[in-house]
A = this chain, B = another copy of it.
Amino acid sequence: MCELLGMSANVPTDICFSFSGLRARGGRTGPHKDGWGMAMYRDGDVWSIHDPRPSADSDMAEIISSTSLKCDIVISHIRQANVGGVCLLNTHPFSRLLWGKTWSYAHNGQLEDAMALLPVSVHHPLGSTDSERAFCWIIEQLQSRFGENEPSLEMLSGALSELALQLKARGVFNMMLSDGDKLYCFCTTKLHWITRRAPFKKATLSDEDVIIDFKEVTTDKDVVTVIATQPLTQDEKWEQMEEGELCVFDGGEVVCQIKTDP
């Protein structure tokens, strides 16, 4: 399987602290050693890193965990390969264009018979993972439902919830998706999130001997939500998403939540 890390913030914020915890699980405190990647959004731009080496050992991951790169939204992924070899093109997050924006996506879980997610007519997978195929399918489904016009948040969230439930029927589908404006998260088995806002406190990573005092790196107006498959800190209370729940974040706040009975 894999692990996911996402961030949504109302001010450009770096992901160093959380990513330091996550990357340890990529070969040191966890088995997810088959590569890592990150999509970072700021002011509508998105840039990305893809590295099929273990995040715990990667010099590139070391840089990202120790250098402040300010973002509004982040999607990161560390991989434990099941479907598809370990290589650059199978490394999450995947990105595609839709409605004039670059959508990025990462997936935790495994889907049965993902090859049946057809036909793929415009948005082709480059790699051989079930994850990327599911992403292409989602993008095509959205395009086919809504055409060239982006729907409202409510309509899009409803459609994403429906599509994610169809994928969940094939196995485990925990995922994060963003267009640089919102961060969409869907939970099958495990996704946790925490919103940090004033008064800020200290936090201690679970996987590394690192403590941060958020008071020292924030202002009173900052709202930062971090989402992860497993909580990354040992002394904070993380919310657990429910099975079948879609949660949409904007500027660190929950702006839409769709729950479905399992």
Contact = CB atoms under 8 A, between A and B. Distances in A.
Given A59-B69, A67-B63, A69-B60, A88 B48 contact: yes
Contacts of A127: 97
Contacts of A59: 69-70
Interface stretch (A49-57, A197-205, A237-245): A49-57
A97 B70 CA distance: 33
Contacts of A124: 124, 126
A49 B69 CA distance: 14
Contact of A102 (B63, B67, B88): B88
A49 B48 contact: yes
Interface residues of A, number: 26
Given A67-B63, A69-B60, A89-B102, A96 B126 contact: yes
A96 B67 CA distance: 30
- Please report whether the interface of chain A is mostly helix, strand, loop or mixed according to DSSP: mixed
15 contacts: A46-B88, A48-B49, A48-B50, A48-B51, A48-B88, A59-B70, A60-B69, A63-B67, A87-B102, A88-B95, A89-B96, A89-B102, A95-B126, A97-B126, A124-B124
B52 A45 contact: yes
Given A96-B126, A124-B124, A126-B126, A60 B47 contact: yes
A58 interface: yes
Nearest to A53: B45
A52 to B, nearest CB: 6
A83 to B, nearest CB: 15
A97 B47 CA distance: 22
Contact of A47 (B53, B96, B126): B53
